[in-house]
Amino acid sequence: MRPSTTRLLNILVPVKRAVDYAVKIRVNPQQTGVDLNVKHSMNPFDEIAIEEAVRIRERLPKGSEPVTITALTIGPPKSVETLRTALAMGADAAFHIELPETAPAPEPLGVAKAVQAIIEKQLNSVDMVILGKQSIDDDLGQTGQMLAGLLDWGQATYASKVDLDLEQKNAVITREIDGGLEQVCVKFPLIVTTDLRLNEPRYASLPNIMKAKKKAVTKLTPADLGVSFKPQMEVIKVTEPPKRVGGTKVESVDELVEKLKAAGFTAVS
């Protein structure tokens, strides 16, 4: 049999269990963060990342070498539900770096180092890491970029379109930037972070969730990988934004001018 020109494509997709987008968040009594006793789900940009990995597999012509999609999450025992969603959407296997319930949430640098350790110690070869551009609870948006720096790989962030060329071993990616779109060509292996317009994630149907229960989830501790999630940042205070005060109505232009003068606005000549 003639050897095929495409080879096994390995995609790693780290996902995060974050506060659900629909939750009305409240600052906690200690003013150190938000009340976390609320509904959590997979970060929406990570859903887009998993969806893109699955679509890459579906777009490849029939007869190509298979694509392996590995999901990864870092967090307390409950985070495994996020992995189940990823597996139900189409990932093949998953890793769970388990942290104790009481541990503080990992920071991007810690996450990037852990992903690097997984790539270097646990996986055979990774061609592409797809991450969400930011998580909707921290809004830090740093993990992808830090990972690219640690691994010394090329990166394409805020991707709204991804096209792979397996012969050339590179990817042409359209990025959402200020003022428009930018196209970059990045060699394998690479990091991609997803933006909203990349795709519309599929719904993980009940039969797929049942099938996902049979897929392998490997549990690891930070010690197994030799990484530490010691926080480098300390949150000093979290407060709500000032309540919006109502506006007032004025009866005439003169009244408006009086009110503006009283408020300290001076005329511009």
Positions that interact with other proteins (CB under 8 A): 21-22, 44, 134, 136, 176, 178-180, 195-197, 200-201, 203, 205-206
Q: Least distance (Å) from other proteins to the CB of residue 95?
A: 26
Q: Least distance (Å) from other proteins to the CB of residue 44?
A: 6
Do residues 127 and 136 lie in contact, with contact meaning Cβ atoms separated by under 8 Å?
no
Question: Three-class SS of residue 8?
Answer: coil
CA–CA distance, 68 with 54 (Å, rounded to integer): 9
Do residues 106 and 74 lie in contact, with contact meaning Cβ atoms separated by under 8 Å?
yes
* C-beta of 101 vs 178, nearer to other proteins: 178
* C-beta of 203 vs 214, nearer to other proteins: 203
Question: Three-class SS of residue 84?
Answer: helix
CA–CA distance, 175 with 59 (Å, rounded to integer): 20
CA–CA distance, 104 with 113 (Å, rounded to integer): 16
Q: Least distance (Å) from other proteins to the CB of residue 128?
A: 23
* C-beta of 41 vs 70, nearer to other proteins: 41
Q: Least distance (Å) from other proteins to the CB of residue 110?
A: 23
* C-beta of 41 vs 79, nearer to other proteins: 41
* C-beta of 127 vs 195, nearer to other proteins: 195
CA–CA distance, 131 with 192 (Å, rounded to integer): 6
The overall longest dimension of the chain from CA atoms, in Å, is 89
* C-beta of 177 vs 216, nearer to other proteins: 177
* C-beta of 107 vs 195, nearer to other proteins: 195
Q: 114 to each of 99, 158, 174, 177, 237, how far by Cα in Å?
A: 12, 22, 28, 28, 28
CA–CA distance, 185 with 38 (Å, rounded to integer): 41
Task: Give the distance from CA 243 to its chain's centroid.
Answer: 31
In terms of DSSP H, where are the helices of the chain? 44-59, 80-89, 108-121, 143-151, 206-212, 222-225, 253-262
Q: Least distance (Å) from other proteins to the CB of residue 206?
A: 5
